[in-house]
């Protein structure tokens, strides 16, 4: 970054904050939102090239299911233990008309966001592809541990991946991994999330479009935070807002697919920008402590 470029970035940052302040908002968040919680993203600066398993791969047979659940078993403890970061808490304070998240980690819900659509589902739930019964991922984790004692501990140092799994691609490492079946019908289990190759359920999409239309009509804006918008599931809402002349602000480190449609593109961290847009209130004890002389 050159010295001459810095003022332009600062001016864009301040202009974006000014545009968003006090307006009705729809907020769309992506994987960059959770990097401050220790969950890596797919396409941010420094990210390695990660290709998630597709739905077609998962249902192709036992080998693919062993591969998926072995990696997920090791990674679940890391994602399951992640805590909401300052950005998640700022989103809850901001309380937009609708928060649309592409993330499956559940951290927005944990931070207290209320009006929310988890576009791709939640990794904390598991669905049977046979009888469609939904169960807890935590319960499945116990079954996986019982069927594969010591497996997670053996690969505790393997690098994490964005979807809550790990880099465990050598078939020899999971060749003997035991994958439990549905306890009700014996069917194949899948995390209740939208895999590549699946479609986002239509009611979720319709609710998101309706919210974008509503804030546009009310003089509001669409704020995108921490998403490269590479996949259509999120990009379509940016395109829809821009077509209706609704202001779009994108906050992301690195280029996104929607940059040409944005009113402002802000190169900044998610938590940094959101905390400034929705600052935490100063409690009375903090305020009074600031008045006290140093010890």
Tokens read off for 249: 């602000």
- Interatomic CA distance for residues 229 and 161, integer angstroms: 19
- Interatomic CA distance for residues 268 and 62, integer angstroms: 43
- Interatomic CA distance for residues 186 and 161, integer angstroms: 29
- Interatomic CA distance for residues 32 and 45, integer angstroms: 10
91 assigned binding-site residue: no
From the candidates 73, 88, 89, 120, which is the catalytic residue? 120
Nearest alpha-carbon partner for 118 in 178, 18, 205: 205
Would you call 120 a catalytic residue per the annotation?
yes
Nearest alpha-carbon partner for 24 in 94, 115, 119, 112: 94
- Interatomic CA distance for residues 236 and 175, integer angstroms: 40
- Interatomic CA distance for residues 253 and 22, integer angstroms: 25
Q: What angle do CA 50, 55, 57 make, to 5 degrees?
A: 75
- Interatomic CA distance for residues 18 and 273, integer angstroms: 12
Cβ distance 273 to 290 under 8 Å? no
- Interatomic CA distance for residues 40 and 57, integer angstroms: 23
Backbone phi, psi, residue 262, to 5°? -80, 140
In b/e form, how buried is each residue of 262-273, taking b as 16+ CB within 10 angstroms? bbbbbbbbbbbb
Question: In the β-sheet with 121-128, what is the strand arrangement from edge to edge?
Answer: 134-136, 121-128, 189-193
208 assigned binding-site residue: no
Mark the binding-site residues, compressed into ranges. Answer: 128, 131, 182, 185
Q: Provide the annotated binding site for Zn(2+).
A: 128, 131, 182, 185
As annotated, the active-site residues are: 120
């Amino acid at each position: 970054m050159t010295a001459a470029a810095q003022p332009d970035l600062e001016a864009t940052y301040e202009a974006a904050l000014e545009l968003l302040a006090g307006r009705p908002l729809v907020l769309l968040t992506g994987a960059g939102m959770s990097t401050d919680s220790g969950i890596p993203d797919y396409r941010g600066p420094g990210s390695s090239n990660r290709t998630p398993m597709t739905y077609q791969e998962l249902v192709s047979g036992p080998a693919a299911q062993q591969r998926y659940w072995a990696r997920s078993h090791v990674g679940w403890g890391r994602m399951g233990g992640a805590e909401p970061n300052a950005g998640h808490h700022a989103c809850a304070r901001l309380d937009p008309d609708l928060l649309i998240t592409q993330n499956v980690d559940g951290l927005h819900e944990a931070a207290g966001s209320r009006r929310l659509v988890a576009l791709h589902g939640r990794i904390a739930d598991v669905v049977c592809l046979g009888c469609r019964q939904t169960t807890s991922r935590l319960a499945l984790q116990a079954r996986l541990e019982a069927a594969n004692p010591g497996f997670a501990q053996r690969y505790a140092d393997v690098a994490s991946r964005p979807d809550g799994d790990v880099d465990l691609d050598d078939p020899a490492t999971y060749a003997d991994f035991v994958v439990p079946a549905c306890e009700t019908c014996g069917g194949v289990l899948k995390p209740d999330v939208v895999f590549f190759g699946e479609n986002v359920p239509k009611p979720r999409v319709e609710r998101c479009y309706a919210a974008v239309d509503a804030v546009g009509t009310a003089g509001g804006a669409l704020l995108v935070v921490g998403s490269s918008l590479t996949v259509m599931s999120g990009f379509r809402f940016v395109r829809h807002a821009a077509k209706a002349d609704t202001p779009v602000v994108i906050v992301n480190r690195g280029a996104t697919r929607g940059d040409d449609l944005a009113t402002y593109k802000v190169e900044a961290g998610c938590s940094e920008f959101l905390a400034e847009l929705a600052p935490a209130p100063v409690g009375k004890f903090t305020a009074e402590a600031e008045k006290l002389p140093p010890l």
